[in-house]
C-alpha cells in the first residue's frame, strides 16, 4: 500500500472537495470520476455515464433494488441509476459542498447525506447492491471499508469498486515522483494494488467474482482535464487568482493532474473494477 509520506488530517478529504467544488464541476461536470471509452469517439459526458452504466451492468441492477453509493460526490451516478434502472439509491459523502449541490439537483428515489462511511450508521443487511466509484482511495482503513460494505449488504448482494491502483512492485522512482505525490496532493489515504484489494475483500467475507483492468479505457480522462484546465486558466481570472492564492491548499492538484497523466502512460498507475459477492449463506 502506497501512502502519503505526511499523514493526512481527518478533514483533508472534505476540504479538498469543498475547496475545488466549482473547479471540478466546471472542468469535468457533476460526475466526479473517470470517463470510460469503448469506441473512442464518445464525448466526455457520455464516457462518464458509460462508467456508471458499466457498474450497473456488472452488478445486474434492476428496478426496485435498494443501492448504496459510497462516496457519492454530487450524486450524479445515483440520479442516473435511479432514472435509468429504477433503483432506490442512498448516497453518502464527506463533502458538505457536494451534498449541498446534490440537494439542489434532488431527484426521485435518491437520498444524499453527509457522513463518514466508516461510521455510516446504516443498519445491517440494508442494501441489495453497493458501489464505490473512486472513493476507497480516500479511506484510511481499506479493511474497514470492506468490512462495513459486507455488513450493510444483504446475503446474495454485490459490491462494485472502481479504484485508482498502483501496479505491483512499482519502481522506486515511480513511487517517489508519481504515486506518493498523487496520494499526498490528491488527499488519498492510500493507493493499493489489485491483490491488496482482493485480499481485504476476501477477509471481509466477500467472494471475488471478477476483476477488470480498465486503465486503457479511462486514461484519456486526464489529458482532457488538463486541456480544459489550461483553457480555463488562460480565459478565466478566477482560475489564475486561485493558483496564486497561497491560502488555497488544494491548488496543488493542478500539478497532480499532470502526474496522473504520466502515471498512466508509464503504467505505474492502474484503474481497476472489482465485483464482489456476499454469498447467500453469509451472515452479517
167-201, pLDDT tens digit by residue?
Answer: 999 999 999 999 999 999 999 999 999 999 999 99
Alpha helices in 157-282 (DSSP H): 172-174, 180-185, 194-204, 215-218, 220-235, 237-244, 253-265
Per-residue confidence band for 281, with pLDDT thresholds at 50, 70 and 90? low
Please give the grid coordinates belonging to residue 15.
476540504
Quote the pLDDT of residue 111. Answer: 95
Q: What is the pLDDT of residue 282?
A: 64
Q: Are strands 66-70 and 127-133 parallel, antiparallel or unpaired?
A: parallel
SS3 150: helix
From the centroid of its chain, how far is CA 131? 9
CATH number of the 12-277 domain: 3.40.50.150
Model confidence pLDDT, tens digit, residues 239-272: 999 889 989 888 889 889 999 999 999 999 999 9
Read off the pLDDT of each residue in 87-108 and give the average, rounded to a whole number.
92
pLDDT digits (tens, 9 = 90+) for 123-149: 999 999 999 999 999 998 999 999 999
Confidence band, pLDDT 50/70/90 cuts, at residue 9: confident
Contact 250, 186 (CB under 8 A): no
Amino acid at each position: 500500500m502506497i501512502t502519503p509520506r505526511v499523514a493526512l488530517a481527518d478533514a483533508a478529504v472534505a476540504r479538498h472537495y469543498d475547496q475545488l467544488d466549482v473547479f471540478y464541476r466546471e472542468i469535468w461536470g457533476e460526475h466526479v470520476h473517470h470517463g470510460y471509452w469503448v469506441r473512442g469517439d464518445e464525448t466526455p459526458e457520455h464516457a462518464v455515464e458509460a462508467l456508471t452504466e458499466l457498474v450497473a451492468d456488472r452488478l445486474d441492477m434492476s428496478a426496485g433494488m435498494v443501492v448504496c453509493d459510497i462516496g457519492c460526490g454530487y450524486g450524479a451516478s445515483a440520479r442516473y441509476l435511479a432514472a435509468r434502472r429504477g433503483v432506490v439509491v442512498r448516497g453518502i459523502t464527506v463533502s458538505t459542498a457536494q451534498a449541498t449541490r446534490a440537494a439542489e439537483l434532488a431527484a426521485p428515489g435518491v437520498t444524499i447525506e453527509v457522513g463518514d462511511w466508516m461510521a455510516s450508521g446504516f443498519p445491517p443487511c440494508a442494501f441489495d447492491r453497493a458501489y464505490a466509484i473512486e472513493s476507497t482511495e480516500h479511506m484510511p482503513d481499506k479493511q474497514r471499508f470492506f468490512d462495513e460494505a459486507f455488513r450493510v449488504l444483504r446475503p446474495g448482494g454485490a459490491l462494485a469498486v472502481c479504484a485508482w491502483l498502483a501496479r505491483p512492485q512499482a519502481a522506486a522512482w515511480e513511487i517517489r515522483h508519481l504515486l506518493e505525490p498523487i496520494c499526498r496532493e490528491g488527499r488519498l489515504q492510500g493507493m493499493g494494488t489489485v491483490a491488496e484489494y482482493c485480499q481485504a475483500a476476501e477477509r471481509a467475507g466477500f467472494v471475488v467474482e471478477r476483476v477488470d483492468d480498465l486503465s486503457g479505457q479511462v486514461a484519456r480522462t486526464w489529458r482532457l482535464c488538463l486541456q480544459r484546465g489550461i483553457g480555463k486558466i488562460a480565459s478565466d481570472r478566477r482560475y489564475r487568482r486561485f493558483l496564486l492564492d497561497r491560502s488555497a491548499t488544494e491548488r496543488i492538484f493542478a500539478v497532480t493532474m499532470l502526474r496522473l497523466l504520466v502515471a498512466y502512460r508509464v503504467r505505474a498507475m492502474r484503474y481497476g473494477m472489482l465485483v464482489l459477492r456476499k454469498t447467500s449463506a453469509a451472515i452479517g
